[in-house]
C-alpha cells in the first residue's frame, strides 16, 4: 500500500529519484517496474506498479468504444501509458509528453493513493489544496463514513 506525500526534485532531463522507502516497496512488489500514464480528471500523472497496471489494462480496453467518456479515458490512460524501470540509483526517466501533460518541472509531489501514486507539479498540487471544492456533491458512500 502506497501512502504519504513526498517532495521530489526532477532534473532537466526528466529524471527523478524515487524516495528510498517507496523504492524498496516498488522493488519487492514489482521489481522496480512501473507504468506512468495521464490522469483523466486532473493534470497530473498516475504511477502504477507494473502488476497493478496489468490488472487494470483489460478493464480499460473493455470500456465501450462508442461512449465518448470511455474513449477519452482510453485515449488518455492507454495512449499515455509508458512502462518505466527504476535504474540502479532508484531513478525513473519521465518522457517529455508525460512531463508536458502534467506541467512537471523541477519541483514535484508524489502522492500515495493506496495501489498507485499520483505525480503532480508542486505548484499544481498547492493550487489544488487551496482550491475551494465546496460546490462538489458528496458521494452517497461518504455520508456514513466516520473519519
Q: Per-residue confidence at 128, pLDDT binned at 50, 70, 90?
A: very high
Segment 40-90, tens digit of pLDDT: 999 999 999 999 999 999 999 999 989 999 999 999 999 999 999 999 999
Q: Is the pLDDT of residue 132 over 90?
A: no
- Three-state DSSP string of the chain: CECCEEEEEECCCCEEECCHHHHHHHHHHHCCEEEEEECCCCCCEEEEEHHHHHHHHHHHHCCCCCCHHHHHHHHHHHHHCEEEECCCCCEEECCHHHHHHHCCCCEEEEEECECCEEEEEHHHHHHHHHCCCCCCCCCHHHCCCCC
pTM of the predicted structure, to 2 decimals: 0.90
Name which residue leads in pLDDT, 107 or 142. 107
Segment 31-53, tens digit of pLDDT: 999 999 999 999 999 999 999 99
CATH number given to 5-132: 3.40.1550.20
Amino acid at each position: 500500500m502506497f501512502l504519504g506525500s513526498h517532495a521530489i526534485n526532477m532534473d532537466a532531463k526528466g529524471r527523478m529519484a524515487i524516495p528510498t522507502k517507496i523504492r524498496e516497496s516498488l522493488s519487492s512488489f514489482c521489481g522496480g517496474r512501473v507504468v506512468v500514464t495521464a490522469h483523466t480528471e486532473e493534470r497530473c500523472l498516475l504511477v502504477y506498479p507494473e502488476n497493478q497496471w496489468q490488472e487494470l489494462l483489460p478493464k480499460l480496453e473493455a470500456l465501450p468504444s462508442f461512449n465518448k467518456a470511455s474513449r477519452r479515458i482510453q485515449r488518455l490512460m492507454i495512449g499515455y501509458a509508458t512502462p518505466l524501470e527504476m535504474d540502479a540509483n532508484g531513478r525513473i526517466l519521465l518522457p517529455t509528453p508525460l512531463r508536458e501533460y502534467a506541467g512537471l518541472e523541477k519541483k514535484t509531489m508524489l502522492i500515495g493513493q493506496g495501489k498507485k501514486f499520483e505525480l503532480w507539479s508542486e505548484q499544481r498540487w498547492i493550487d489544488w489544496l487551496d482550491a475551494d471544492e465546496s460546490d462538489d456533491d458528496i458521494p452517497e458512500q461518504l455520508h456514513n463514513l466516520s473519519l
